[in-house]
Structure 1
Amino acid sequence: VQDAASVRKAIRGQESVIVVLGSGRNRKGTVRSQGTRAIIQAMKSEGVTRLICQSTLGAGESQGNLNFFWKRIMFGWFLKQVFLDHELQEDYVRASGLDWTIVRPAAFTDGERTQDYLHGFSPDLRGLTLKISRADVADFILKQLASGEYLYQSPGVSYS
């Protein structure tokens, strides 16, 4: 995502773009925000308007969904730079002028696809497991390609 020409080439001719950037074990850096910004610029150059971007539960107004551990320890200290990068990523998406949906999954598990998860819940809902399988996140993201249900919104996704 750091080579603008390669990003434009990958986006050329597409109907939509799904952004699921991460930095692996690297807790520093700005691959999410800067990569998303590069993708948005390429989308505008290529006339692609539909963007689905994966962020994290706890970003923006969804912080109320988190418990003390996630709010203060994980995102407040251990993953603070990762969290700030997600926040900046979301700012770029909202300001893009594209037809966007920001998907905010809870912590990933390696579980199976169940299709039995909550989504679009209120930002003050408590008692979530704060976990979801990667397979169920993929299920939800792919459903957004055919749906305008969460256009210009940032739904959380978690098991109850």
Structure 2
Amino acid sequence: MKLLIFGSTGSIGRQLVEQALAQGHTVTAFTRRLTVPEFSSHPGLILFQGDVLDFTSVKEAVKDQDVVLCALGAGRKGGTRSEGTQNIIRAMKAVGTKRFICQTTLGVGDSEGNLNVFWKYIMFGLLLKQAFVDHEIQEKYIQQSSLDWIIVRPAAFTDGERTGTYRHGFDGSAEGLTLKISRADVADFMLKQLTDDTYLHKTPGLSY
């Protein structure tokens, strides 16, 4: 398939690029700076330099893509994820690309019950409040769109290996979650949504 990845130089995005190329997909990595040297020689990789906040460049990148994946990051700041995602949605609607797989975070919406006191009140309530609100707005834009969307809500990232074994699609009262998931497994799950409609128009959580 022809895949476009936003946030391709981030910790999740790099995993998406690497695993997608290994699966034989043609990958367009959207990036502000052409800094993906470890993959730059791969015949299946196309580097597209642009700014997700610039609608014109986003629209150009979305043309002729089968699926768009989004793993935008902005640290603790707010705005970039939601505004960038709004541009992506507009561009996809304009060119007719339908399938959109986007990574947000566990704790948004009806997954709030999955969080413990530390994550609910210290991390998302204080330290990462701007980023969390940005994810909430990002999800609202996606859910209001007419796209074939899947929102993936992972727990806290770790640097572990890809295991392919994790819990997903649990409800807000699920017990026994570690509230951790490797970046490699986040990418693994997102790529499994390329053709699987189990979670179409849904917001599966992801954790060990």
Q: Fold match, TM over 0.5?
A: yes
Structure 2 contact 78–133 (Cα < 8 Å) conserved: no
Residues 23-64 of structure 1: CA distance to partner in whole angstroms, max 9, x if unpaired? 13xx22311100000000000011001111100000000000
CA distance in 2, matches of 1:53, 1:77: 24
- The letter of the residue matching 1:137 is V
- Aligned partner of 1:101 in structure 2 is 150
- Aligned partner of 2:66 in structure 1 is 15
- Aligned partner of 1:29 in structure 2 is 78
Structure 1 contact 66–126 (Cα < 8 Å) conserved: no
TM-score, normalised relative to structure 2: 0.74
Residues 106-150 of structure 1: CA distance to partner in whole angstroms, max 9, x if unpaired? 011111000110000111113311000010000000000020010
Structure 2 contact 152–190 (Cα < 8 Å) conserved: yes
Percent identical residues: 62
- Aligned partner of 2:112 in structure 1 is 63
SS state of the match for residue 145, structure 1? coil
Residues 73-120 of structure 1: CA distance to partner in whole angstroms, max 9, x if unpaired? 100111011100000000000001111100000011111000110000
State how 1:1-160 maps to structure 2 within 5 Å. Answer: 1-24=52-75, 27-159=76-208
Structure 1 contact 106–130 (Cα < 8 Å) conserved: yes
TM-score, normalised relative to structure 1: 0.96
Between Structure 1 and Structure 2, whose CA radius of gyration is higher? 2
Deviation, structure 1 residue 3: 1.4
Deviation, structure 1 residue 2: 1.2
SS state of the match for residue 140, structure 1? helix
CA distance in 1, matches of 2:160, 2:154: 14
Q: Which has the higher contact order (CA 8 A, sep 6+)?
A: 1
Deviation, structure 1 residue 5: 1.3
Q: Mark the runs of 5 or more structure 1 residues left unpaired by the alignment.
A: none
Q: Mark the runs of 5 or more structure 2 residues left unpaired by the alignment.
A: 1-51
Out of 124-133 and 36-45, give the one that drifted further: 124-133
SS state of the match for residue 193, structure 2? helix
- The letter of the residue matching 1:21 is L
CA distance in 2, matches of 1:59, 1:89: 10
